[in-house]
Amino acid sequence: MKLLLKFNLVFVLIFAIGLAATGFVSWTLLERNARDEIAQNARLLMDTALAARAYTSSQVNPLLETQMKYTFLPQSVPAYSATEVFNDLRKKHTEYGYKEAVLNPTNPRNRAVDWEADIITRFRDNTQWSEVIGDRDTPTGPSFYVARPIRVGSAACLRCHSTVDAAPKTMLERYGPANGFGWTLNDVVGAQIISVPTKVPLDRAKQAFTVFMASVGGVLIIIGIVLNLMLWAMVIRPIGKLSNFADRVSLGELEIPEFQRKSSDEIGMLSRSIARMRTSMVQAMKMLDS
Ligand code: HEC
């Protein structure tokens, strides 16, 4: 097997192993970063929803107290304001979602669908859980969700959510007596669920990965070409010439011109040795002739 072929086989093997290892490490890092970014986005939105809720109960609710005696204003309900804030947000960012999903909600739009009901059941079975995260496919693309349980944390909730009789009349006029009752204290009735799209950050990670791998591949190919040229110019070509010279001398062409190579490297040393050998041979032949 030729020297250049051997060298290239080893180089291609190292090239492939190096590229695969770099690819594995860089994709793991890039994907983890993208997932961290997605989770951070989702948690930020969850905190925004909690802030909208807190604002409603601490600032809006007291202002509407008198008017609530005459008509029920849903603007005073924290769950309503958080949902409305997100509905506005969704006009611009359609793939994002927020839902106060409840198994037996006051407002039917909050009714939990299949996968949300599953999460609520898991929260009910594991009361110490404070968060569940996961991925799922939606019609608008893959999506990541963060869910937190909704607990009936205070007896004040029961005024409107326990029985029809206890509920304010104005509320019944608006929502009717059918839904949103029968909640009990400390019960997990639903889950706050934030959904954020994963396609954009993951696509960005894929793009960064492709560019990175293409540049690493490009650099390795350039290194391969340069090493091949060096090997050819510094070793293969001079050795070829030397072996040709030695061949001709061995076949009796003692008068051919000196093989010149001035460099002090190993090939230079070899060429000088062969030249000396030829001189010794010529002298020996002369001695034999005389
Ligand atoms: C003054 C009555 C009232 C009180 C008190 C009240 N809620 Fe509500 N709650 C409502 C109404 C009305 C809605 C429906 C709002 C809408 O139209 O989205 C609602 C909606 C909700 C929702 C969204 C799901 C659904 O049922 O539509 C959750 C969750 C919720 N309430 C939890 C609580 C908790 C927890 C408390 C106690 C901290 C509480 N509520 C106290 C009246 C009340």
Q: How far is the CA of 108 from the centre of ligand 1 (A)?
A: 12
Does pLDDT of 5 surpass 90? yes
Q: What confidence score (pLDDT) does residue 229 get?
A: 96
Does pLDDT of 211 surpass 80? yes
Quick one: what percent of the chain has pLDDT higher than 90?
72
Burial of 161 (0-12, 13-18, 19+ CB in 10 A): buried
Mean pLDDT of 275-282: 88
Mutate to test the pocket of ligand 1, among 56, 66, 160 (most ligand atoms within 8 A of CB): 160
The DSSP-derived string for 118-149 is: HHHHHHHH-TT---EEEEEEETTEEEEEEEEE
- Taking the complete model, does pTM exceed 0.85, yes or no? no
For ligand 1, atom 40, the nearest C-alpha belongs to 157
pLDDT in tens, 75-84: 999 999 999 9
Quote the mean pLDDT of the chain.
92
- Cβ(201)–Cβ(34) under 8 Å? yes
Full set of structural domains in the chain with CATH? 3-10+206-289 (1.10.8.500), 35-198 (no CATH)
Alpha-carbon dihedral 189, 190, 192, 195, rounded to 10 degrees: 180
Question: Distances in Å between the alpha carbon of 97 and those of 94, 120, 170?
Answer: 8, 17, 30
CB-based pocket (< 6 A), ligand 1: 74, 77, 79-80, 100, 102, 105-107, 110, 150, 152-154, 156-157, 159-161, 168, 171, 175, 180, 190
